[in-house]
Amino acid sequence: MVKVVFALLIILASSHGLPPINYLPYNETIARKMLDLAAAAYSDEPHLCLLNRFKRAKVIQRYELFCDSSLNATCSAYLALLHEENAIVISFRGTKDDVQFYREVLSGVATKQNFYGFGRVNKYFHDAYLTLWLSGMADLFYELVEYYPGYSVWVTGHSLGGALATLASADLISTGRFNTHNSLHYNFGCPRVGDDHFAQIFEKLLPDYFRIVHAQDAITTVFPTLLGYHHHHTEIWYNNSMAVGDKYISCYGDNDPRCPVRPSMSMFDHRRYFGVRVPVYGQDGCVGNGEHEIEGEIRR
């Protein structure tokens, strides 16, 4: 009930499509750390990434559960602590295999689900998020929040993981316990998650949410606006190799002409962020750049 009232109050102040009043600017140093955390979710042993990329980091719990009606596909996430950064991490894994990918694509035409009164969102994302979050993950997360009251919350994910991270961020901020001063929210290669109503409310909930897109990342356009899907801002668009020092553009809403991401069948840009092939890089323990084939790798 609190979340529904919160959403109604936000609707009254909606200004969808306008630049947000940002309290925190986009920070590429943080974004690169977030990518490591997102990549780690692709591994059955995410602690390896954290050991290789962070000081005094610890994975608290990893979750992997069947997350659709086929009982063939799993979704995964983990909770971790970054003691050097004073942060509690929530990171969601991206799509695991081709079967899961096709089920996600088909879900685009299914009836969207209401998300706590914030608007309607993709059914696959809705069900997958709640399956993970209500499996004990939420309870453990709030235990960590109580035990580490001075820590901020970092939420991230790549691809499907970015969509689930979006829902997690909305869920957390709507409780009133988290805000721009004690939480950070970055995702990578995220598809459109919900309808325009959801996008409007999300932008008010989180003016400092950064949705990072690499060049012509196909997944960011996979659910078209013709089906009632809309992106929220703020998009951070890199139309380059994303090397250190490369330029980026900040864009707002789905129709900002400064970030012309077009529908594409190529997955090259989607797999690669900040110079690494994200899923393989994560499975390699966040060493190297992930540019090699691995058994069972998704072929999309």
Query: What pLDDT does residue 245 have?
Result: 94
Q: What's the mean pLDDT in 97-110?
A: 86
The DSSP string of 43-105 is: SS-THHHHHHH-SSEEEEEEEEEE-STTSS-EEEEEEEEETTTTEEEEEE----SHHHHHHHH
**Tens digits of residue pLDDT in 218-256:** 999 888 889 999 999 899 999 999 999 999 999 987 778
Confidence (pLDDT) at 262? 75
Q: Average pLDDT of the chain?
A: 89
- Give per-residue burial for 10-45: e unless 16+ CB within 10 Å, then b: beeeeebbeebeeeeeeebebbbbbbbbbbbbbbee
pLDDT score of 263 more than 80: no
Give mean pLDDT, residues 38-58.
98
Percent of all residues in the chain with a pLDDT value above 90, rounded to a whole number: 70
**Does 166 score more than 70 pLDDT?**
yes
The owner of tokens 């996600």 is 104
pLDDT reported for residue 12: 39
Domains of the chain plus CATH, in order, are 2-10+28-283 (3.40.50.1820)
Q: What is the pLDDT of residue 298?
A: 54
Strand-pair category, 57-66 with 74-82: antiparallel
Q: What is the pLDDT of residue 5?
A: 44
For residue 294, the model assigns a pLDDT of: 64
66-89 per-position pLDDT tens digit? 987 777 789 999 999 999 999 999
Whether 43 contacts 280, CB under 8 Å:
no
Q: What is the mean pLDDT of residues 87-108?
A: 91
What global pTM score does this model have? 0.91
pLDDT at 149: 96
Of 230, 169, 228, 219, nearest to 190 by C-alpha is: 219
